[in-house]
Structure 1
Amino acid sequence: MPHVIVKLWPGKSEEQKKRLAAAITKDVMDILRYGEESVSVAMEEVGPKDWLEKVYKPDIQNKRDSLYQRPGYDESDL
């Protein structure tokens, strides 16, 4: 606890994903005061063709009340 899931398009290197996971872990530790042993970070690659149905609609459009950072577009832009 906590577990952070980052959904992103394929194409980022393993090094980039590791750096992002380390930065997220550090921020969770600093801001929420959890130890590193309590933090987990996962990366889920979702292709552009699947993004609308697998990410945007279920995780963004249908959960707007739980978003703390919203994308700079809405479904009419897709």
Structure 2
Amino acid sequence: MPHIHVKIVGKTDEEKAKLAEALTAAIVNSIGANEANVTVSIEDIEKADWVEKVYKPDIAGHWDQLYKKPGYNPL
């Protein structure tokens, strides 16, 4: 029952739908999940809020849980 929550800046509804399809396919193909059990939510974040709302709490705050670490450090 995988659920992915994506926080993203400045994408259209069409781009978000494509992303959700690609993420679903990746989960199905990589871990054998049933497509019907996969859910994807996408949250819009303002660029000016990224550090406080995403980087500090979700990235820096959970560094040990990241399987793909960022190539940037805004701090």
Q: Which TM-score band applies after superposition, normalised by the shorter structure? A: over 0.9
User: Which residue matches 2:5?
Assistant: 5
Identity of aligned residues (%): 44
How far apart, in 2, do the equivalents of 1:52 and 1:21 lie? 24
Structure 2 residue matching 1:18: 3-state secondary structure: helix
- Provide the aligned length of Structure 1 versus Structure 2: 75
User: Which residue matches 2:69?
Assistant: 70
Q: TM-score, normalising length from structure 2?
A: 0.93
Note the aligned Cα RMSD (angstroms).
Answer: 1.0
How far apart, in 1, do the equivalents of 2:6 and 2:27 lie? 14
Q: TM-score, normalising length from structure 1?
A: 0.89
**Structure 1 unmatched runs, 5+:** none
